[in-house]
Structure 1
Amino acid sequence: MSDLRRATGRFPGSGRLAGLIQELTTGSQRFATLWAGGAVDAHREDHKIVHHPAAGPIAVDCDILTDGDAERKIVVLTAAPDTEDETRFQLAVVSGVHHPARD
């Protein structure tokens, strides 16, 4: 939410951005409520549940590393060590790797 709000400040004339906000506001009451609140803050860390099709729900910590004015972000997801979530996280990583058979 905060990244989107900052983007509207940087690109006030963007029709694509305005259209996205309209679509999200119309399609989600939660988004509409948060957007109406007007908060602008930097997203740095959070706790999330990721739903992976093979591993199931995984509780992760989500940290955002920002490259200043370049608007580049690195999102780092980690699971608590020695937990079921860590095991599911590792399963999710390997289940996404596809090695085609070699002739």
Structure 2
Amino acid sequence: MPVSDLRRATGRFPDSRRLTTLIRKLTKGNERFAELWASGAVGAHREDRKIVEHPATGPIVVDCDVIIDGDAERKIVALTATPDSEDETKFRLAILSGVTAPRRA
């Protein structure tokens, strides 16, 4: 969960002990989280580029777009690969492979 999501959640649920405890633990245990939390910035994760490590096809570079319904706190995450690229071919093969975890010998 991104820092911005937690910050918005604290605004919606200011009396949540569970949320307060989670933030305290994350702040103490993660220097990067502590820096981001201290900055006070509130943003929204909308798009990013990621590398997905798939067990059948290997690494796949994908664009990650997030569609948010703010009132209902619902998010739809869409992963796409650049059209006509090696990553698109690997992405399609990953979908068709049906492999969700590495096979054990």
Unaligned stretches of 5+ residues in structure 1:
99-103
After TM superposition, the structure 1 = structure 2 runs for residues 70-85 of structure 1, keeping only pairs within 5 Å, are 70-85=72-87
1:9 counterpart (8, 11, 28): 11
Q: Deviations over 1:43-71 (max 9, x none)?
A: 21111222223322221111111123111
Q: Quote how far apart the aligned CAs of 1:85 are.
A: 1.4
The residue that corresponds to 2:103 in the other structure is none
Unaligned stretches of 5+ residues in structure 2:
101-105
Q: Quote how far apart the aligned CAs of 1:81 are.
A: 1.0
2:10 match: secondary structure? helix
Report the TM-score, using the length of structure 1 for normalisation: 0.79
CA distance in structure 2 between the partners assigned to 1:63 and 1:2 by the alignment: 16
Letter paired with 1:58: I
1:41 match: secondary structure? coil
Letter paired with 2:58: G
The residue that corresponds to 1:90 in the other structure is 92
Contact 2:8 2:42 in 1 (8 A): yes
- Please report the RMSD computed on the Cα atoms of aligned residues, expressed in angstroms: 1.9
Is 1:67 aligned to residue 63 of structure 2? no
Q: Deviations over 1:11-62 (max 9, x none)?
A: 1111221222223223322222222211101221111222223322221111
Which range moves more in the overlay, 22-31 or 54-63?
22-31
The residue that corresponds to 1:56 in the other structure is 58
Letter paired with 1:73: K
Q: Quote how far apart the aligned CAs of 1:6 are.
A: 0.4
Q: Quote how far apart the aligned CAs of 1:74 are.
A: 0.6
Contact 2:64 2:78 in 1 (8 A): yes
Q: How high is the sequence identity, in percent, across the aligned residues?
A: 71
